[in-house]
Structures are given as structure tokens and as C-alpha cells.
Amino acid sequence: MMRRISLVLLLCYAASAAVAGNGDARSAAGGAQAWLELQRSGAQAGSDKPISGEVAARIYDRYLESFEQPIPETFQRSRGFTVDDN
């Protein structure tokens, strides 16, 4: 999901630079490459945010509960969202 957002932002940046006449497409692409390199290197990355013990325990419990349901042989696709009362 983050890659899609990054790609959309990159394309918007390159398109706006080309339309605004801020240089040719190569300079817009060069700026986009520098922006992608910042992401890739992690130089502008935020700090990790730890999960509290209570939240981590609830997440792990939910994960373990997911194994209590059998895996169905087939999956049926349906349109929209439905709530199963079982």
C-alpha cells in the first residue's frame, strides 16, 4: 500500500513539475529519484513506535484464536460486505 502511495506521489510530482515548466521531464525525474533515494536509505525515517505490553498480548491472543477455525476447502466470493451471524 505504501508503495502505491509513493508511486502516486512520485507521478504527481513529476507531472506537476513538467506542466508548471519548472524544467524538462529529466529534471523532474531527477528530483523524484532523489526523493526515492531518501526513502530507500531511511535517512528521513521516523522512529519505531513500540506497542504496549497489553496491546501486544491482545494481538497475539487474537492470532492464536485464528487457528481455532478450520481452513475451508474452497472460498466463495461475494460482492459487497456481509455479516455472518454464525
Q: Are 15 and 29 in contact (CB under 8 A)?
A: no
More confidently predicted of 40 and 79? 40
- Average pLDDT over the chain reads 76
User: CA angle 16-18-21, nearest 5°?
Assistant: 105
Task: Round to whole Å and give the CA distance between 26 and 17.
Answer: 10
pLDDT score, position 31 = 82
Q: What is the mean pLDDT of residues 41-64?
A: 88
Note the pLDDT of residue 12: 62
Q: How is the chain split into domains, by residue range? A: 2-41
